[in-house]
Amino acid sequence: MAKYHLRLAHLYGDLLNTYSDVGNIIALRYYAKQMNADIAVEVISIDNQFNPDDFDLALFGGGQDYEQLVVSRDLPNKKDGLARFINDNKPMLAICGGYQLLGHYYIGANGEKIPGLGILDHYTLSQDNNRFIGDITIKNPKTGQEYHGFENHNGRTFLGKDEQPLGMVVTGHGNNGEDHTEGAIYKSTYCSYFHGPILTRNGEIAKTLLLRALKNKYPDADFSNQEALKVKPTF
C-alpha cells in the first residue's frame, strides 16, 4: 500500500496519443512507486469538465491536425480550470500538440490558424513541405542536465514572456530550427516536442514533476532524503 496518492488528468488521452506518449504515464508510475506513491489516472476529453482541484498532475499529448482541431474547439470550456492549474504551480507535461495548444495559436499544415488557450506566451508557425525529424539532444542551461529524444514536427514554435527553454539544442532542430531552443518551462509546466516518450529516456524530468506534485499535496512531508530522487532511468 503506497503512502502517497496522486491524481493525474490525461487531457484528451483518447484523441491525442499519436506517438504513444501514454508511455509517459507508465514512466511516472514507475518512478512514483520508488517514491512510495501511486497514481490514479483519469482521461478528461470532449465535453468533460476539468476541475483543477481534482488533480495533482496533468499530461497533454499530441495528435494529428484533425484531432487537434477537434480538441481546440473544446478547450475554451476548460481554459479557466487549466489556467488555474498551471498558475497554481501544479505540474503538467505538454507534448507536441498539447504544447502548441497551450500557446496563443498554431498554423496547421494546410495554413489554417488554430487558436490555443494563450495561457503560455508562445505561438507556432508551420513549414512548407518540411518537418523536423530525427534524434535530438538538448542541455538544460540551469541544471546542466542533458535530455535525449526523438522529434517529429512541422510546427516552428517561438517562446514568449516568462518562458524558459527546456534545453538548448546540442544536436537536432528544436523549437524552430533558428534560436537553438527546445521546449518550454513555465512554473511547473514542462513542454517539449520529444516523443519516444520523453520520460522513459529522461527520468530526471519525471522525478521533477513527481516531486513538485508531492510537495504541493503533502507540504508537511519531508522528501529531502527521498532515495528515489537518486534513481537513474533503467528503461
- Quick one: pLDDT band at residue 69, thresholds 50, 70, 90? confident
For the cut 50, the answer to whether the pLDDT of residue 56 exceeds it is: yes
Query: How many other CB atoms sit within 10 Å of the CB of residue 153?
Result: 22
- The pLDDT of residue 67 is above 90: no
DSSP 8-state symbol, 164: B
Mean of pLDDT over the chain: 91
Phi, psi of 85 (to 5 degrees): -55, -50
Residue 86, classified by CB atoms within 10 Å of its CB into exposed (0-12), middle (13-18) or buried (19+), is buried
Residues 6+ apart with CB under 8 A from 43: 10, 12, 13, 14
CA distance 96 to 62: 5
Looking at per-residue pLDDT, the higher value among 30 and 233 belongs to 30
> Shortest CA distance to 40 belongs to which of 5, 12, 13?
5
Kindly tell me if the per-residue pLDDT of 224 is higher than 80. no
Catalytic site residue from 10, 104, 173, 195: 195
Instruction: Name the pLDDT band for 109 (thresholds 50, 70, 90).
Output: confident
Q: What is the pLDDT of residues 7-47, one digit of tens each?
A: 999 999 888 877 777 899 999 999 999 999 999 999 999 99
- Residues 214/218/223/228 CA torsion (nearest 10 deg): -40
Pull the grid cell for residue 10: 490525461
Helix (H, G, I), strand (E, B) or coil at 137: strand
Percent of the chain past pLDDT 70, that is, above it, reads 95
So what's the pLDDT on residue 63? 77
Q: Which of 10, 96, 153, 173 is catalytic?
A: 96
Res. 196 pLDDT band, cuts 50 70 90: confident
User: What are the pLDDT digits (tens) for 160-183?
Assistant: 999 999 999 999 999 999 999 999
Q: State yes or no: cis peptide before 197, omega within 30 of 0.
A: yes
**pTM for this prediction:** 0.93
- pLDDT tens digits for 139-156? 998 889 999 999 999 999
Binding-site residues for substrate, please? 131
Q: Is 191 a catalytic residue?
A: no
Q: How many CB atoms lie within 10 A of CB 161?
A: 8
pLDDT in tens, 81-92: 999 999 999 999
- Numbered residues of the known binding site: 131
What the block records as the C-alpha cell of 151 is 522529434
- State the pairing for strand pair 189-192/92-95: parallel
Q: Retrieve residue 62's grid coordinates.
A: 499530441
Give exposure, 175-185, as e/b (b: 16+ Cβ within 10 Å). Answer: bbeeebbbbbb
Residue 231: pLDDT band by 50, 70, 90 thresholds? very low
